Amino acid sequence: MAATVTMPEMARMLGTSRQKVYEILNNPRYQHFFEIIEIGGRRRVTRESLQHFLEGQDRYQLAAERVKEIRKVCHDETGASRCDKENAEESGSKETLNAADRPEPEYMTLQEAAVLAGISRQALCKYIEQGAIEGVEKYAGRIRLPKQEFGKWMIRRMLREEAADGVD
């Protein structure tokens, strides 16, 4: 494993854009964390300083860690989805299934999708309004995104970002 990461690599690791990475690196609040070196005329961040940054603040985290956070936020200690419980309460139903008894949901909430995408709910709403994600539904006053369509959109988005980043 290389001792340094490029800016596009750091962006993918954090689940954000390359532009946001440069904003983080230039932010006086975070500059002290990073050791930036130049290799072949290209700026790189040492993995050690990136790890120091991740441990020293709580706003940014690795994209894989965000998935774990979503699971913590959306599921209680029994494994039952809090979103399912909220919907059951809204509809007047007292019954809630545990994780083993219910099928994998085909939809995700706006909040779950925004966290996975590494963007705000408002930004995700703009993409939805533009028709970037197909099959979006409103259920009980809440926006639900089809997991499969959201996944396709994420792949298209990542490919566009990689193409825009070019080779660093």
Residue 85 token pair? 């419980």
Helix orientation angle between 110-117 and 147-165, rounded to the nearest 10 degrees: 20
Helix orientation angle between 110-117 and 121-129, rounded to the nearest 10 degrees: 100
Q: How far apart are CA 10 and CA 18, in angstroms?
A: 8
Q: Is pLDDT above 70 for 89?
A: no
pLDDT 10s digits, 110-132: 888 888 888 888 889 999 999 99
Give the model's confidence band at 165: pLDDT under 50 very low, under 70 low, under 90 confident, else very high: low
Averaged over 133-159, what is the pLDDT? 85
Averaged over 7-35, what is the pLDDT? 88
Give the model's confidence band at 34: pLDDT under 50 very low, under 70 low, under 90 confident, else very high: very high
What predicted TM-score, i.e. pTM, was given to this entire model? 0.43
Q: How far apart are CA 52 and CA 30, in angstroms?
A: 11
Buried b (16+ CB within 10 A) or exposed e, 71-98: eeebbeeeebbebbeebbeeeeeeebee
Q: How far apart are CA 143 and CA 150, in angstroms?
A: 13
Q: Is pLDDT above 80 for 139?
A: no
